[in-house]
Amino acid sequence: MSRPAVCVVVPVYRAEATLDRCVQSILAQDVDGGLACILVDDGSPDESGALCDAWAARDTRVRVIHQEDRGVSGARNSGLAAADSDYLVFLDADDALRPGALQAALNAQRADPAAFVLWQYTTDAADPAAVTDAAAPYGQQALARLWLDCVLAMPWNKLYRTALAQRIKFDETYTLGEDLQFVLDYIALLGQTQPGFTYRLLQSPLTFYDCSHTGSLSTRYHANYCEIWPEHFAKLNAACLAAACPERDLRDLHRAELTVYAEGVADILRRDPTPLQGIRRDKAAAALRRPWLRALLDRMRQERCYSAYYLPCRWRSIRLVYAMAEAKRAGSPLYGKLDWAGYYLLGGRLRRD
């Protein structure tokens, strides 16, 4: 039996409520060249493992891997290693593929064999947008813009060459941002093996991303947030410089990175589990002294790149960083006032574009 064109890898943990929807959306895909699905039960304590086995019993395209809890990266690595297909797609167990998604991605890939195919996603389960293979081409210099447009950092809106992806792994030591690391590693490997590759971004949403569940990694407090993100951003910045991204995109990227980091500093004061406010302040102050942050601010000064968080971070003022982050979170006009106050204090020497 020939290997399938596409294999979909699904990490499964506490997914009783959504797993059937996810798997149904995969098996309903009509794919030229065949389809496979690998469900990785990552030591799930509920009935998710039994649901996986039930799907495998009723459809030979489904394979189940049961393993001890290794986290989502460990589950994806197991599925990735077991895949035997031309291309591979990741999908989370609480998400779903829209009808025709995989064939649209394959069509885009076959129309441009040298491309790395990505696609948009939707958070509306009833999204009426048609699924088509219409795609916009991007050169490698668009890397920063793809991150800024929220289509780069996640692993589940991309069509990977299976044999190539199997040469790398998700880093299981990370609990945050490991997806971006994997994607950047894949892009670096793609550049080594196929230097002239381009990106093709499908304009229609192919994946339904269910963001209705609380308690996800994106909403949890991470005690080492301000240690992890500098590592990810350093790698992203190096990749963007190597790709010769436009200066305008780099300025926007650095603003976004400073915002992510500054709001992480504010989150220490807001949600760190220590009951002692003094320890929280010390931890936040230490984050504002990190060499990575100083280097980012120096780079922004060279670029004449303004951000609302530029002066609060340059001054290492945890009080001002926190006040701005809280104002922004609450939609308070205070944020805008502090933003423009910082701009005028700098005499307009840094640019807002």
pLDDT tens track for 243-263: 999 999 999 999 999 999 999
Separation of alpha carbons 39 and 62, rounded Å:
7
C-alpha–C-alpha distance, residues 159 and 136, integer Å: 15
pTM of the model: 0.94
Mean pLDDT of the chain: 95
Summarize pLDDT for 102-133 with one digit per residue, the tens.
999 999 999 999 999 999 999 999 999 999 99
Planar angle of CA 94, 95, 100, nearest 5 degrees: 150
The kind and range of the H/E element at 229 are helix 225-242
48: pLDDT strictly greater than 70 = yes
* Paired tokens of 218: 């994106």
